[in-house]
Each structure stands twice: as structure tokens, then as C-alpha cells.
Chains A and B, each alone.
Chain A
Amino acid sequence: MTLIKTKHNRRSFLKVTAASGGGLMLGFSWAMSCTPADKVGEIPLEWFDINAFLSIAQSGKVTIMSPNPEIGQNVKTSMPMVVAEELDVKWEDVIVKQAPLNTDVFERQVAGGSQSLRKGWQALRMAGATAKQMLIEAAAKKWNVDKSTCSASLGVIAGEGGKSVTYGEIASFAAEMQVPDEVKLKDPSEFTLIGTDRGNVDMEGIITGKPLFGLDTYKDGMQFAVVLRPPAFGTKLKSYDDTGAKTVKGVNDVIRFGDKVAVLANSTWAAMKGKKALQAEWDNDENLESTNYHDRELRKLLNTKAEEPKRKDGDVNKGFSQADKIVEKVYEAPFLPHNCLEPMNFYAHVTPEKVDLLGPIQTPERTRRQVAELLGRDQSEIFIGMTRMGGGFGRRLYGDFVLEAAEISKLANSPVKVIFSREDDMTAGTYRPASKYKFKAGLKDGKMIAYHLVGAGVNMGNATREKNFPAGTVANYLVESHNLKSNITTGAWRAPITNFLAYAEQSFFDELAESAGADPVQFRLDLFQQAKDNPVGTVDYDIDKFMGVIKLAAEKANWGNPDAGIFQGFSAYYSHNTYVAEVAEVIMKKDTPVVTKVTCAVDCGIVINPIAAKNQVEGGVVDGVGHAMYGDFSFYNGQPQQNNFHQYRMIRMKEAPKVETHFVKSYNDPTGLGEPALPPAGGAVANAIYKATGQRFYKQPFMKDQIVLG
């Protein structure tokens, strides 16, 4: 049992009011951190923003308004489970609603970086526990007994002598109580809801085709807008001719804004046809970059000394000179589009009074600021509603399509929905940057004594994670990073940086272990043991947790003793505060390697909703394997060379391995789960294919190496 404070310096993280229609309404701050208030000096003001609500109606139904947008990470189900656990109500009595960003009280909404649950955990628990305590105190007051004689469970408060009252019956009375200064949280061992499988709260809508997504927005008077954008990065609009477009039936208007031209029509199809009928000429005003240019420049950077190392322990050159074996390899990855299955889209209605925006965006608050700036409006006049999102993967952190919708609506003086075709979506992206890594390690008597990593990426900033493994395990350690500036728009892509860095590193370690004549799992464990006994510099990851998942994956996959005909590969990575180890299994079918299974061990703290948590791991693995094998994207003279799924291959059902997930039993606070299963997946598979075929992959996608994967 933990006691936590609900106030700091007389400011409260919670507010209570009567619910409309009777009952109790509790507003709370989602941003409230996990750190107890009395342990920190200055508390950021936003921790006090009331941005989420829970209400208990007289019927006993509990409504939880979650401000966090759902992109498929199950936050809309898992987060309310945490509230319901502490509140102690039947899950069947809980209704979950997505809250729009349209009042001052809903702020700081962002989904991404696997952080939603991590950030909300303590706040959600506090909200549930506070409401429960207020209900108990209300019942005690009504019965005129001491509150310690009352207890609550599953929506009912019981007092001595068989007295009982439901939450619904006492809720209105509880709304008149003071918010307690301090509340008791359950001991995790007492949890009865957390840790049980609960189905997706949007399931019915999804399987019956209800309007849930941004693209499903249809409003009175709304026009459909499809936009012609510069075809290549580095070009701008010189002139255009809309004669043909205007003859398309259903097209109402053609509007230029900046270097783009919008076709407005009274149906999606007419707008798409109108866009195809536009004639435009483009000017080059900047470099037109091609993939071979990026390749050449990044390779050059790999052989350049960085001004400042990211981290340096010992002296790598001395280490290499003492080594009896040196292994050096370069790994390369292309740009990748996000390819959310729901293409980018947004609804906007700009009027002199206000700006209404609705659609799939992961960063409503930042986007609202940008729209305000673009339109020269006050932020208070801008209302953003969020829909469910047909995937995010990082793409919907960027509000370019919201700005387009707002601008077009303003110019057209009409409500509009901007729709990206798949071609628009794939060619006007914020891509996963292309990157390359050079690893060099020195071994002496089978032990790693020197390690040097150079990373280079396009618009990546720091392309490395210098504090990650193997930092701390090796006496001589050097990490350097280079950035190549480009006019191609790049951005976060599921597990930024690590989505490829982990692949490169974990493939390299497989080779390293082989050179050292060691088992790949034991090789890693020995390094961790060394860091435990004798750490070099600071160690910023939890060695025991890391070793824990490695051992668990090896045990569950029967590492080293596979059935006949099965080849295994190993990989482990730490990202987004979560530790994941994976064993991939490959079989040969008519001389072709087939990935049949990936066994995962995951330490992500306490698992709130296992059936959904496993879904995240399964999806992350399939995503990681799919992009490692097939994901290929290139530019020629600034122009993307793939624009739809006939040219850009994505993993399909028959290529998806089975995924077996094992969570480390833990009562620690939850950590990220949307991303961490992806980074290790590619490496595990590549290492298994090597066992089966003797072929290593230094470039993604593997397909390029003429390998056909069944």
C-alpha cells in the first residue's frame, strides 16, 4: 500500500464537481508524474492542468474520458482499466469516451513514444483511488460512522451491521465532499482487474463498420479537397493550368496555396479526378537529391572523425592494437514511409468566429499552435477534435495535413476534408531517415576489449544511442555520430533511430560472438556480467533486467537445442524503458529460408491488459521483420520512386512468423510497449537466416540480396 498526496503547495491535482444529471465528477491531471510531490522541489505547472475526467452517475455507471488519442496501442482500453482498478468497480460498468481538444481543460494530448501509459499511470491510479475514498467518506458521513469501518468493493460500499450503498446511490452526496489530501493506492498484489484480459473498447464499432476514423468525417456543406504537391523535394510550383480540372464534373474550385494546388469537389472521386487533370510546371530551387547521393555522402561520413565523440571510455586505438582479432562491418538502411493504412486526412472549417478541426492527429496541442500562427488567430478560437487513427507509427505527430486543411478552408471559405490518396501519402511523407553504421570491435582471447561505432543519418541529429549496451561493458569504447542535412522531410518512425540501429548492432554481435568462438547468448551474458562486476563509466540501463529477458527468451525458445531442421537467431534490445529479447526460428523450404516463429521475452513493468500487450508485441515483431525484409524506398532527383503498394512491398499474412510472448512478472510501473518489440526483430531473423544459409545481410531490405523469402 502506498500513500500519495493529491496536492502540492495548496494546488490540487484533482477537482471535484457534481456531474450533470446527478452524481460525482472528478477531474484530474494526466500529466501528474510518478514522482511523489514531496520529493521534488518545483512541480511543473502543467501537472495541475485538469485534462481528464471520471464521472459516476446515479445509475452506478462510470464514465472515463480519456484525453489520449487512440492509434492502435490500446490506450483507450488499458488506461481506463487502471482507473477502474483503483476505483474498484466492475469493468462492465465502465464506459470509455475519447475527449476532444475543445475546451481549455483538455490539454497536453499526445500519443507516441510508447509513453502514454508510463506517464499516466500514477495519475490514473490517484484519480481512481481518490474517487473511491470520497465515496467511502460520503457513506460514512451519511451513516454517521467512522470511515475506517467502511470498505468498498466492485461498486458497493459496505459498513458494519450489514449496511451497504452503491457508488451510484452515494455519488451525488460524495460530490459535496472535499478532495482528500492524501489517498491510499492499492498494493499491486491486490489488483484484480489489472493483469486480466479485456477486449478493445472500440471492438463493436470496428467490426461493424461504424464511423470511427478521420476519413469517416462527413459534415453538412463539406467539400472534398485533394492536393497537388511538388512532385520532388527541392522543387516549387512555377505555373499551373486548371482548365481540364474544372471540366471534371463535381469539381467546384481550384485554389493555389504556396507551392500546392487544391482541387475542391463535392465528392472524393471528383476531387481525385480533378487533380489528375491539373497541368503544372515546376522549378528546381534546391538540390534534387537521389539515393545514390545519400549513399555516397553517408559512406564518406562513416570514414570521417567526428568533432566531438558522443561517448568515450578508455582508448579504442590502444584497445585495437592489443586485440588478436578485429571485426569491422558496415550496415545500411533506406528511407521508409510510414504507410499508415488510413492515409493522412483532416477536416477543417474556418469561420470568422472560430476554427473547427477534426481528424487523426497525435499532437493536437502543438498543431493548434501551428494553426493559430498560420491563420493569425488566437489559440482560444481553435478547436481540435480527435478521431481514432488508422495507424500512427510516428507519421501523425506531424500536422502538415492539418495546416493544409485549415488553409484551404480559409481560402475556399467552406468546410473541407483534405484527403491524401495513397500516392500522396507515400510521396509527401516525413520519412524514416536513411542511415548507415560502421562497427569495429577488437577481441582478445575471445573477450571484447575495444568497441567503436560510427553512425551517420539523414536529418537524424544523433544517429546513435551511445549510453545503450554495450556501453559499460567494454574498457575501450567510442561512439561518434554524423548528420547529413537534406531537403527531404524526415521524422520519427516507430522506435526512432533504434528501429535500424538495433538491427545493425545485434547482427554485428552475432558475428562478434562467432569470431570469439562463443555462443551468441553466452557472449552477451558474459559482457553484462562484466559490466555488473566491473562497470566502465556509467551504466544507464538495468543490467539485471537486460540479463533477465535474455535468459527468459533463451529458456522459452529452447535456445541452442532446436528441433531438427530449425535454425535459431538471437537478438536483444533496450528501448523506451523496456527490455526485449527475441529468438527467431527459420526453416529451409526448397532451399529458401522461411521465418516460422519469434519467441519474445519482455520486461515492460506491470502488464495491464495482457491480451492487448501481446498484440503490441506481435505487431512490433511483424513490423520489424516485414520492413527488414521488404521495406525499400528510394529517391531520384528528389522524387520518391515508389508511390503505392504495387511498388512498395509490405509484409503479408503468409510471411508473418508466429509470435510467442513471455512477459517478465513485474510490479514495477509500466513502461512503453508500442515500440520496443520492433528493434530486435530484424536482427533475430537475420541471425537465424545466417545459421540456415551462411548468408549475412548488411543492407536492408534483405530482399535486395536476391534472397527470396517464403
Chain B
Amino acid sequence: MATFNIQVNGRQQQVDVDPDTPILWVLRDHLQLVGTKYGCGIAQCGACTIHLEGTAVRACSLPVSSVGDKPITTIEGLSEDASHALQEAWREHDVPQCGYCQAGQLMSAASFLKSNPNPTEAEIDAAMEGNLCRCGTYNRIKEAILTAAQNS
């Protein structure tokens, strides 16, 4: 075990874990931040997407030892009061079915919109390629991203 100081959603956290522990399990098992989901463990489904220094990364494939002092944002920290333009758009389009993939979808979309505030549909397709939705809510996700882009 080793001690790591990491910054999550603006707060400094200390955890005592094996260096190879993916940040996904540090968040879930050690910091009670369970919004970040496990779906595949090999960076294929996007359910575990978080932001590292504002950029979307797959938490299942990111060992805690490689995080250093780069700030992490999880779905719990996407906005203070669930008022992110994407969260609003998710409500408007009633996006989720089972809901399991949605935190990862939101985090991927949020990081993407920051770099491309006015995307085309094809650009959204490309950016969201790494996020699976087993329930097939892709069309709503896409529409919600377009709505959020318009409203922000």
C-alpha cells in the first residue's frame, strides 16, 4: 500500500491503496463517489469517464499512481446544483433508460463541448464513439448535446 494525495471535485483527499489501483475503484470503494461506473475495465465502454485536468479519461484504466496532482472531476462535481447545460438538456430530452451509462456519457460530452462548443452531428458521433449505451439512447444523447451546445 502507499499513500496518495489526490484532488477530487476541488477537495484534497488522501487514500491508502496499491499504486496500480485504477482511479475508478479509488473513487468508488475508498471515496464513496459511486457515480463513476464500472462497465468493462478495459477502456471500451466509457461508463467510467471522468475529467483529469478537464479532459475526459477512462478511470478504469488510469492507475492512481499516475494521477499526481492533476485535478479530477467526477459526475458528482460536474456542477454544483445539477445545472450544467448538459444536465438541463438531459432532463429536457428525458435521455436515460436504465441510466447506468449516463454519468459517463455526460462526462464525455462535457469535456468535448468545452473543446468544441458548436459541434456538428458527425463531430458528436466521433467524440462519443467510446461510450456505449446498452439501452440504445444514442439519439437522445446526441440531441441533448446539440441542445446544450445551443444553450451555452
Contacts and interface: CB of A to CB of B under 8 A. Distances in A.
B134 A208 contact: no
A206 B40 CA distance: 19
A24 to B, nearest CB: 31
B151 interface: no
A675 interface: no
Contacts of B102: 206-207
B67 interface: no
Contacts of A626: 136
Interface of B: 1, 17-18, 21-22, 25, 28-30, 32-42, 44-45, 47, 74-76, 78, 82, 87, 90-91, 94, 96-103, 106, 122, 124-126, 128-129, 131-142
A270 to B, nearest CB: 7
Contacts of B99: 72, 200, 202, 205-206, 212-213, 388, 390
Contact of A656 (B90, B100, B136): B136
A470 B128 CA distance: 42
A393 B82 CA distance: 30
Given A390-B98, A618-B139, A645-B42, A650 B29 contact: no
A595 to B, nearest CB: 13
Contacts of B100: 213, 340-342, 390-391
Question: Size band of the A side of the interface?
Answer: 35 or more
Contacts of B90: 203, 207
Nearest to A390: B100
Q: Which of A70, A72, A199, A206 has the most CB of B within 10 A?
A: A206
A390 B137 CA distance: 13
A391 B34 CA distance: 17
Interface in A524-552: none
A249 B37 contact: no
A207 B91 contact: yes
Given A270-B18, A341-B133, A656-B136, 11 more contacts: A203-B90, A209-B34, A209-B36, A250-B18, A268-B29, A343-B39, A391-B98, A422-B45, A645-B45, A653-B124, A653-B142
Contacts of A615: 94, 97, 137, 140
Contacts of A206: 96, 99, 102-103
Contacts of B28: 268
Contact of A208 (B75, B125, B126): B75
Contacts of B139: 618, 622, 656, 658-659
22 contacts: A207-B75, A208-B76, A209-B33, A213-B100, A215-B34, A250-B18, A267-B17, A267-B21, A339-B134, A341-B45, A341-B132, A341-B134, A388-B98, A390-B37, A391-B98, A616-B97, A620-B136, A622-B138, A645-B40, A652-B128, A652-B132, A653-B125
Contact of B136 (A215, A249, A342, A619): A619
Contacts, number: 186
A444 B33 CA distance: 67
Contacts of B33: 209
Contacts of A621: 136
A72 B34 contact: no
Contacts of B38: 215, 268, 343
Contact of B140 (A71, A393, A618): A618
Contact of B87 (A208, A623, A650, A651): A208
B36 A653 contact: no
A249 B2 CA distance: 11
Nearest to B97: A72
Contacts of A393: 134
A645 B44 contact: yes
Contacts of A208: 35, 75-76, 78, 82, 87
A205 B29 CA distance: 19
B137 to A, nearest CB: 6
A389 interface: yes
Given A269-B18, A388-B98, A209 B75 contact: yes
A204 interface: yes
A297 interface: no
A611 interface: yes
A656 B75 CA distance: 25
Q: Which of B25, B41, B134, B137 has the most CB of A within 10 A?
A: B134
A163 interface: no
A71 B126 contact: no
A207 B98 CA distance: 12
Contacts of A373: none
Interface string A218-245: 1000001000000000000000000000
A337 to B, nearest CB: 11
A300 interface: no
A422 B39 contact: yes
A216 interface: yes
Contacts of B40: 422, 644-645
A386 interface: no
A653 B47 contact: no
A392 to B, nearest CB: 8
Interface string A601-631: 0000000000110011011111100100000
A389 B36 CA distance: 15
A619 B135 contact: yes
B111 to A, nearest CB: 16
A614 to B, nearest CB: 9
A207 B96 CA distance: 9
A74 interface: yes
A296 interface: no
A517 B41 CA distance: 52
B25 A269 contact: yes
Given A199-B91, A612-B94, A652 B129 contact: yes
Contact of B37 (A202, A215, A269, A421): A215
A215 B76 CA distance: 17
Nearest to B64: A269
Q: Which of A71, A213, A218, A653 has the most CB of B within 10 A?
A: A653
Given A199-B94, A269-B21, A207 B87 contact: yes
B22 to A, nearest CB: 7
Given A209-B33, A388-B98, A622 B129 contact: no
Contacts of A652: 128-129, 131-132, 138
Q: Which of B76, B138, B141 has the most CB of A within 10 A?
A: B138
Contacts of A619: 97, 135-137
A227 B147 CA distance: 44
A379 to B, nearest CB: 29
Interface in A319-340: 339-340
B82 A207 contact: yes
A197 B133 CA distance: 23
B149 to A, nearest CB: 16
Interface string A648-677: 001111101011000000000000000000
Contacts of B45: 341, 422, 645
